[in-house]
Structure formats: structure tokens, C-alpha cells
Amino acid sequence: MAHHTLKSSYTSLVNRLNFFPQGAPPSKLLDKILTMLFSEEEAHLVSLLPIKPFTAAKAAKGWKMRLPEAQRILDKLASRAILVDIDQNGETEYVLPPPMAGFFEFSMMRIRSDVDQKVLGELFYKYLNEEEDFIKDLFTLGETQLGRVFVHEPVLSNKNAIHVLDYERASEVIRTASHMGVGTCYCRHKMLHVGRACDNPLDICMTFNTTGASLIKHGFAKQVDVIEGLDLLDQAYESNLVQFGENVRNRVNFICNCCGCCCEAMIAARRFAIFNPVHTSNFIPGIDEQSCTGCGKCVNICPVEAMTQVSANDPKKPNRKIAKLNEKVCLGCGLCIRACKENSLKLLSLPARVITPLNGTHKAVVMAIERGKFQHLLFDNKVLFSHRALAAVLGVILKLPPIKQIMATQQVKSRYFEALISYYERDLTQKNCN
């Protein structure tokens, strides 16, 4: 490590983080965050890790060290939720999650003494709210975003329910997850340290499946069963929180219960509404202008300010107001339906369904194509110079207008890659069974 300066180690780590479809733009604030979470040696070693899941043996080879030492370092990083460790058929695989949704959140999902969370929270707030590059890149680049909104299930009518698919229900994610953990809400915990937190529930951040299992194992989340999970979901409903989760159909890894004042996704939805930073549900509220009294409850409850009050243009009641919806901003969460006591609002199905990636692999590929980072997934070896050179060449090719347009088509992004990934997973399952 003597030949690695402090600057080069953390610069290499930032470069590594930006191989993800959702990266982290360089910043002095980011440098301060990373120095709190990683030692200089860890920054250097993590910068050499692949994007896809890897074993301790692969890490040891890339790091040029003995397997026991590599295993010790990996387990130490996993114990701090820098890495996620996954048990696969009796063997442990590791993966470096992106900064967000990833190790940024994990660092604030429990009260801990090994880092100064007040200082860390203040740095996160400045990096995400005072500087614009990170949050803008995270939520506005490309058409496919990291998260989507789940519809507020208590307001579904019998007719609506017919059109809601299982993967669109937060309750179904809870019922079918292999593991479920609950931790402290990163967003409200961060806001607590800058004096801006609201009084909504704090311990209500939900993680599932492989990510949930790792966070439970290392004490960053408390394991709960289905009944407890559904009770927490009811608590979120009663608190008028929006369910914002991973933008995949299968094996969702997180669902945040978001308020409009603290949560980054809701803040981004307001700040960058024209870029559609959050995928909506497949519903939108319809307004019955005849029965609307203009009480303003729907306006007050909307987390993204999609509802406003306008004049009803009623000559008999010149001061009468009614609700008006900005459909381009609306998330389709359904909170306004719950707030309306006059039954003047009802959920309507969108004319075209919102496309949701099949799983995490499908989402990563599509996001990488849209953001010009597909080459990093194809040549996922940070050690071999030949791979880096090929990735650089392919990166130039993929940015050429004709190629970029072809790769960005809905047919390539959805049907082709979904079929390819499904085939790969079936083939892998068959090999494991044999």
C-alpha cells in the first residue's frame, strides 16, 4: 500500500463506484463521506472489486493475497454493510452495492458508535441536497429509474384490484420474501441530525431477500415475520407514507415508507419532476368536479405537490375552488384518495402500463444501456488491463448515435434482455439441480 497515496486510493474508489449505472459524481463532500466509511487500504481494495457477485477466492486472486486474509477483509466489510454477503448453495458470494440504494443508506440504518453519525448525516444532507449533481444523476439520467411507487392498497376498489398485479402490491412483496428485515429510515435519521426530521415513524425501513438476509445477519436490520411486516405496512398506511421500492418485478430488495419532507425520492420527484425521476404506479386519480368541495385535503397530503386548488369557475359561487391534478407530476400513490371524505376522487388505470424490469440483473443492464455504461457490465474485471481497454473501446462505440438509438429501444431493453436473463436463470437452476 506504500505506493498508493490517500488521494489515489479514494479517487480509484470513486471511479469504481461510477461503474454502476447509478454512481456518485466526484465531490469534496463525497471524499469526506468515503473517508468516514472506508480506510485508505479498504478504499484501494474495494476499487478493484468486480460489479457482479464474487467469491472470496476471486477477490483474493484480484488482490494478490492469501485466501484467509481476503476472507477476513471481506467479512469485516460485510459486517459494516459496505458489502452484502449472499449464501448461494453453501458458498458465500459478496457484492458491493451502489452508493444508493446501498451502503449510504445502510450506514444510517441503525444507531452505531464506530462512525460519527451526526457528522455523516450532515455530509449526506449537503451532498444530496445542497449539491445537485449526485441526486440529479441518480434520479434523472435515462428512462429507467432505480425505484417505483406501490399503490396505496387500502383505497383499491374491487374493480381496481382486478387490475393490480402481485408485484405491484407491497403486501405481496412482504408475503413472498425469503427474508424481511426492518431498520431505521435513512432519510429521517439523516434529517434528524440536521434538525429537519418530521415525526413520522423512524424504524420502518424494509429490506427483503438476499439484501435483507445480510443486513439481518450483521445487525443492521431486525428480522420480522410476515404478520409483523404487514402490521408495519398498516402503520405506514396510517401515517400516510408512500411505499417506494426497488424497480423490479421479482425479488424486490427494499421498500421505503416515504414522507414528502425527508425522503430523497419524494424530494427528487418535486425538484426534477420533468425528468420523471420515480416510476409511478399504474393508476392516477380522477376528479369529480361536481362533488369536489375544494377542501384542500388532497393538496395537503400529496407528497410531490401534484394536487393544487383552482377556481371552479362557478358563476353562482365565485369563490368556490376545486382540486386540480398535474398528471405529469403525480406518482399514482393514491394517498389523495384516502384523504378525500367527499368521494370526489377515484383511482383510474393508466392507458398504458408502466414497464418494470424483471429483476435486478435486467434493471442493471437496461439502466447501464441508457446511461452509457453497458461496457462496464460486459468487461467486469477491474484488474485486467485488456478488459479495461476493451470496455473503453466499446464505450465509444455505444455512444455513436445509430448504436445508441438501437440499444435504447424498448424492444431491446425489455423483451430481448428479459428473455435472455430468464433463459440464463433457468439454465443456471438446471445446472445447480444436476
CA separation, residue 192 to residues 100, 222, 288, 384 (Å): 19, 21, 40, 44
Nearest to 54 by CA among 66, 41, 70: 70
Report cis status (omega within 30 of 0) of the bond before 101. Answer: yes
For residue 368, name the pLDDT band (cuts at 50, 70, 90): confident
Residues 203-233: tens digit of each pLDDT? 999 999 999 999 999 999 999 999 999 999 9
pLDDT in tens, 70-104: 999 999 999 999 999 998 878 899 999 999 889 99
Strands 242-246 and 91-95: unpaired
Residues sharing a CB contact under 8 Å with residue 120, sequence separation 6 or more, in sequence order: 33, 36, 37, 107, 108, 193
Per-residue confidence (pLDDT) for residue 367, from 0 to 100: 84
CB 407 within 8 A of CB 178: no
pTM: 0.85
pLDDT at 7: 61
For residue 268, name the pLDDT band (cuts at 50, 70, 90).
confident
Is residue 139 within 8 Å of 270, Cβ to Cβ?
no
- Domains of the chain in start order, with CATH, are 133-275 (no CATH), 284-348 (3.30.70.3270), 360-433 (no CATH)
Q: Which of 192, 229, 227 is nearest to 209 (CA)?
A: 229
Q: Does residue 235 have a pLDDT over 80?
A: yes
pLDDT at 52: 85
* 220 three-state secondary structure: coil
Residue 199 has a pLDDT of 95
Is a pLDDT exceeding 60 seen at residue 3? no
Helices (H) and strands (E) in the chain, counts: 22, 13
The predicted model gives 298-310 an average pLDDT of 95
Rounded mean pLDDT, 236-262: 95
Identify the weakest region by mean pLDDT among 117-121, 138-142, 176-180, 324-328. 138-142
Q: What is the mean pLDDT of residues 147-153?
A: 94
Per-residue model confidence (pLDDT) at position 277: 82
What does the pLDDT read at residue 1?
42
Task: Give pLDDT, residue 394.
Answer: 46
What is the structure's pLDDT at 4? 47
CA distances from 140 to 49, 52, 218, 270, 398 (A): 27, 24, 33, 12, 20
